[in-house]
Amino acid sequence: MPAPAPKLDQLLAAVARGDETAFAQLYQATSSKLLGVALRILKNREVAEEVLQEAYFKVWERAGDYNSTIAAPVTWMAAIVRNRALDEARRRVIRSTGNENELENVESEDEHPIAALERAEDVERLMRCLDGLEPDRKQMVRLAYLDGMSREALAKRFDRPEGTIKTWLHRSLAQLRGCLEQ
Amino acid sequence: MTELDDIEALAAEYVLGTLSREERLTVAERRAADKALDRAIAAWEKRLSPMIETVTPVAPSPNLYNKIRAQIGLSQHVISLKAREQQLARRASRWRNAFVGVSAIAASAIGILGYREVLHQQMPTQYVAVLQTGADKPAFLLTVDTKTNMSVITAVNAPQRAAKSYEVWLVNDKLPKPKSLGVMKEGDMHVMPMAPGPDTDMFMQASFAVSLEPEGGSPTGTPTGPVLFTGKLIQATP
C-alpha cells in the first residue's frame, strides 16, 4: 500500500513556502474536482480551463493567506474557482437553463478521495439538511450553487417573479443555516 | 428558523451565486473593508461547499498544468529581476545626474533662462527597456518617446527557431494575466501609438517579457513556453 497522501492543508502550507512539488501534488489531488465545478457553471471547457488556470495561479500566489481556522483547503480553493467562474459567467451572460445534458466530457479516471475523506461528515450533514427543503427549493439551491443560475435565470425557469425567487432563496438559506447549526 | 439579516442575506446569495454581475462586483469590493461581511461570506462558503462533492470530476487537459507552471515561472522571473532592474534604474539615475551636471555647464554658456525651453524642444524624454539575459547582447529593445507618444519594440538579436515564435508580453499586477504585445522575429519593429491615460501609466510601470511560443504565438493568450527575456522601462534622457 502506498504511503498516505499528505493532507491538503499540509500541501497548502508547503505551497506558501514556494514548494513546487507540493503545488504539483495539490493540483493532482484537486484539479479534476475543481474543473468539474467550473465546467458546471461555465458550460464551456476552454473557458473553464482558463478560469482554472487563473485560479491555480491565485492559489500559488495567495497560499500564504490561507487560514486553516476559517476554512478547509477545498472550501478555500473551491471559493476561488467558483468566484472566478461566476464572475466570468455573469460577464459572458451565460443563461444557463440547468438542462444541459449534452456536455461530453471525459470523466476523470483518477481517484482523488482525499478531498472527500477529509469532510465526509460535512457532506453528509449538508445533504440531510438539503433533503429537509421542499423539493423545488432544494432544486433551486442546487441549480444556483452548482450550475451558477442567477435569480433572473431561476425566475424564468420556475416561472415566478424575481422578488418571489429572492424570498424563497432567503427562506431556504435560513432553513439550511438553522439545520446545519443543530 | 431565524430570518437572515441584510448582511447574512447578501453573503449567502453571493456564495450561492444568484447575484447579478453588478451586485457581485459591489460585494467583492465591500468585503475588503467590511469584516462582518467577509466573515459571513466565509461562513457561507463553509456551509455550502460540501455540495461540490456531488459534482462529477473532469480531468483537465494534460497541458493545463504546464500553462499554470509557465505563468508562475513568468511571475517569479519578473519578481527575481525586479531587484536587478532597481539597481539598473539607480545606475541610470546616476548617469542622468551626471548628464544634468554637464548640461548645466552648457546651460550657463547659453543663459539659464532659455535653456530649459531649448532642452524641451530638442529633447523628448525617452524611456528604454532592454530585454536580455545576463550580460548577453540585447535581444529586444523597447523604447518610448514621450514627445511623439510612440513606443517601439525592436527585435535586435532574436535567432530564428524552428517552428517557434517570440511573443512579447506586458506584465502588470493590475492585469489579471500577461497581455500580449505581439509575435516578433529577428529584425521586426513594432510601433505602437500611446495615448496619455491610465493605460499609458500602466505601460510605463509594467514589466516586459519575451517567451518562446509555438509558431504564430501562444494558442491560449497567456505565455505557455519558457520566458527568455524580461525587463522594465527606465528613463534614458531627462
Length of chain B: 238
CA dist B221 and A118 (Å) reads 36
Tens digit of each residue's pLDDT (9 = 90 or more) over A126-139: 999 999 999 999 99
Residues 152-171 of A with CB under 8 A from B: 152, 154, 165-166, 169-171
Mean pLDDT of B200-221: 84
Whether pLDDT at B31 is above 90: yes
Q: Where are the alpha helices (DSSP H) in A43-161?
A: 45-62, 73-92, 114-117, 120-131, 135-147, 151-158
Mean pLDDT of B5-22: 95
Q: Per-residue confidence at B77, pLDDT binned at 50, 70, 90?
A: low
CB of A78 less than 8 A from some CB of B: yes
Return the pLDDT at B116: 44
- B62's enclosing H/E stretch is none
CA dist B107 and B5 (Å) reads 71
Whether pLDDT at B28 is above 50: yes
Q: Which whole-number Å values give the CA distances from B195 to B144, B148, B154, in the listed order?
A: 12, 10, 20
Is B115 or A162 the better-scoring residue by pLDDT? A162
Q: Which whole-number Å values give the CA distances from B83 to B77, B105, B142, in the listed order?
A: 11, 34, 20
- Low-confidence winner among A89-98, B68-77, B193-202 (lowest mean pLDDT): A89-98
Tens digit of each residue's pLDDT (9 = 90 or more) over A9-31: 899 999 999 888 999 999 999 99
Q: Per-residue confidence at A99, pLDDT binned at 50, 70, 90?
A: very low
Q: Which residues of B touch A177 (CB under 8 A)?
A: 2, 4, 8, 12, 47
Whether pLDDT at B97 is above 60: no
Instruction: Give the position of cell 532642452.
Output: B119
CB contact under 8 A, A107 and B49: no
Q: Which of B4, B28, B55 sits opposite A173 (nearest CB)?
A: B4
Q: Return phi, psi of residue A66, to 5°.
A: -65, 135
Return the pLDDT at B205: 81
Q: Which of A74, A107, A125 sits opposite B58 (nearest CB)?
A: A107
Give the closest-approach CA distance of B135 to chain A in angstroms: 28
Tens digit of each residue's pLDDT (9 = 90 or more) over A39-50: 999 999 999 999
Mean pLDDT of B39-48: 95
Task: Return the amino acid letter for A7.
Answer: K
The residues with which B132 forms a beta bridge, in sequence order, are: B230
Q: Which residues of B touch A178 (CB under 8 A)?
A: 1-2
Give the closest-approach CA distance of B49 to chain A in angstroms: 6
Instruction: Give the position of cell 539607480.
Output: B90
Give the closest-approach CA distance of A6 to chain B in angstroms: 20
- Low-confidence winner among A147-161, B114-128, B134-148, B177-191 (lowest mean pLDDT): B114-128
Q: Which of B197, B154, B201, B140 is nearest to B173 (CA)?
A: B201
Return the residue in B13, B29, B47, B71 with the most chain A beta carbons within 10 A, the one to mutate for interface testing.
Answer: B47
Q: Which residues of B touch A142 (CB under 8 A)?
A: 51
pTM: 0.63
Mean pLDDT of B3-14: 94
- Give the contacts of A23 (CB within 8 A, at least 6 positions apart): A11, A15, A60, B72
Residue of B nearest to A123 (CA): B50
- Low-confidence winner among A97-106, A131-140, A169-178 (lowest mean pLDDT): A97-106
Q: Which of A37, A48, A107, A46 is nearest to A77 (CA)?
A: A37
Task: Return the amino acid letter for B121.
Answer: Q
Give the closest-approach CA distance of A3 to chain B in angstroms: 24
Q: Which whole-number Å values give the CA distances from A82 to A180, A182, B17, B50, B184, in the listed order?
A: 22, 27, 8, 13, 36
